[in-house]
Amino acid sequence: MTELNDLGKGLAFLRENPIAFIELMGATPEQWQREAFEALQSNNRISIRSGHGIGKTAFLSWVTLWQLLTHYPTKVACTANTSAQLYDVLWAEVSKWHRRLPQQFQDLLEIKSDRIELRGAANESFAVAKVSRRENPEALQGLHSENLLFVIDEASGIDNVVFEVAEGSMSTPHARTILCGNPTRSEGYFYETHTKMRHRWKTMRVPSWESTQVSDEFVEDMKIKYGEESNVFRVRVAADFPEADDDAVMALWKVEAAVDRDVETTGSVIWGLDVSRTGKDRCALAKRQGNTLLEPIKSWQRNDLMVTVGMVVDEYDATYGPLRPEAICVDTIGLGAAVADRLRELGYPAIDVNVSENAAVKQRFMRLRDELWWKAKDWFDEMDCKIVRDDELISELTMPRYAFTSGGKIKVESKDELRKRARSPDLADAFILTFVDEGRGGTSWASQRPIEIDTNYVV
C-alpha cells in the first residue's frame, strides 16, 4: 500500500471533492452530473431516470473509478440488463476514463475483462461486472465491505427478482446504490423508487433537452417522428415513464427489454415482406430466426415492384446458406401478389399471405392480421427473444391498440386507423409476417418452394 500512502493526501481531497476528480480526467461535468455527485455525498440511494444521450454512462464510470481510488477498502458491483450494455458500453467507458487519469492514478488500478482491482489489495478493493438475469439473480449478492457501492445501469430493464435477492446487500450500513436508465417500464423496482418508495430514495429526472450533449435537432426530430405524446418520446427524450395503455397490444418495457438480450438463437429462418409502391408507405423486409430478429428491418420507398423483387433477390443471394429463409412471407393484398408471383417464378421461396383472411383460431381473432400481432406479442411476453435497437420499430410495435368485438373476438387497429394518428407501421407489419405458421391452411412451406433456383433471372 506504499503507493496509496504516497498519494494519500491527494486521494483524501478528491474523496471530498468528486468534481475535482472528474476535472482531473479532463472532463467538464454537466449540471445534473454535478448535482448527482453532490447527492451521493449525503444519500445512500440514488435513482436517476434519464433521456437519451445525456452522459449517464460517463457519470457511472466516474463514480466507479472515484469509489475505487478514494475509498479503502471498497467493493463495487456493476450490473446491467444485458452483456452488451454492461461490457460493450459501461465497462468500455470505465476503461476509457481510466486511461485519462494521471499516470500515478492509472497505476493504482488494474483493469481486467470483468474486474478492476486496486494493486496490492486485490481482495480488499475491487469492482466486478456481472449481468443481471432472472435465471441467475445473484449479480448483486455476496459482497461485504466497509464501503459498498452498487452501480446499476438500465435499471428499468432488470427483473424484480434481482432486486429482491440483492435487497439485503443494498441495505447494509455504508452501502450506496445508484440506479440509472431510461424509464422504459411503468412497473417494477426502478419505477417504484420514483413513486411509492420515493421517500427512501433521492430521485432525479434528466430529460435529453437538459444536456448540452444532446442537440436541439435530435429533440425536434424525435418529436416530429414519434409525437410528443408517444411513449417513445416520453421514455427516450422526456425521461418520463410510459403511459400504461390497458388496450395496447404490446407493452413498451417488454419490447425494450428484448433489445440486445442475451439469448441462444434457435429455430428456422423466416422473412416477412410488406410491399408498398407509392405514397408515404414503405416496403419493409424483416428477418427472424426463431427467438431472434437477425438484423434491423430494411425499408425502402417509391420503387416499382420489379425493383422490390430485385432487392429481395439480392438479399437472399447475399445471405450465407444456413441463414437463408425457409420462406419469404409476402403480404399479397394488392401489390404484394405480383411480387410473390415473380419471386416464385425466379425460384425463391415466396409464400402468399393474405392478412385479411380468417385466422387459424377463428373463435379468438377477427382475421389473420390480428392473430399475427398476438403471436408477436406472445413472442415478447416469453422474455426469451432478442431484437436490435431500432426506435422506429419499437414505436411501431407498441403503437397499436386492440378491442373486443361484440362476438368476443380480438381486433387489432388497422393500418388505416393507425395512419390517422401516426405513420403506417410498415416495419412492424413486415415483422409480424414472420409469425405465419408453417403448414397454415394445410399448405406447407415445401409445397410452395421450388426445388431449384434460377440464378440467371431477369427482373
- Which domain, by its residues, includes 349? 252-448
Same domain, 190 and 272: no
Please tell me what DSSP assigns to residue 137. -
Say what the pLDDT of residue 319 is. Answer: 95
* Structure confidence by residue, pLDDT tens digits, 235-251: 999 999 988 666 889 98
Last residue of a domain, one of 180, 196, 211: 211
Same domain, 257 and 307: yes
Dump the DSSP string for 156-201. Answer: GGS-HHHHHHHHHHHTSTTEEEEEEE----SSSHHHHHTTTTGGGS
CATH number, domain at 415? Answer: 3.30.420.240
234 part of a folded domain: no
pLDDT at 459 over 70: no
Same domain, 21 and 127: yes
Report which of 336, 248, 309 is spatially closest to residue 458, judged by C-alpha positions: 309
Same domain, 207 and 256: no
pLDDT at 284 over 90: yes
* Structure confidence by residue, pLDDT tens digits, 68-108: 999 999 999 999 989 999 999 999 999 999 999 999 999 99
194 part of a folded domain: yes
d(CA 414, CA 417): 5
Of the chain, the end-to-end C-alpha distance in Å amounts to: 73
Record the pTM: 0.76
**Residue 445 main-chain phi, psi, to 5 deg:** -55, -45
Query: What ranges make up the beta strands (E) of 275-394?
Result: 283-289, 292-293, 298-300, 327-331, 350-353
Say what the pLDDT of residue 302 is. Answer: 66
95 part of a folded domain: yes
Same domain, 324 and 394: yes
What domain count does the chain have? 2
Confidence of residue 279 (pLDDT cuts 50, 70, 90): low
Last residue of a domain, one of 155, 183, 211: 211
Same domain, 183 and 278: no
Same domain, 163 and 304: no
Query: What ranges make up the beta strands (E) of 119-210?
Result: 125-129, 148-153, 175-181, 202-206
pLDDT at 203 over 90: yes
Confidence of residue 314 (pLDDT cuts 50, 70, 90): very high
Percent of the chain with pLDDT over 70: 92
232 part of a folded domain: no
Q: For residue 293, what are the β-bridge partners?
A: 288
CATH number, domain at 37? Answer: 3.40.50.300
Same domain, 317 and 179: no
Same domain, 282 and 415: yes
216 part of a folded domain: no
Last residue of a domain, one of 154, 179, 211: 211
Neighbour count for residue 4 (Cβ, 10 Å) = 16
379 part of a folded domain: yes
pLDDT at 170 over 90: no
With cell 455476496, the residue in question is 142
Angle 394-400-401 from CA coordinates, rounded to 5°: 135
Same domain, 152 and 10: yes
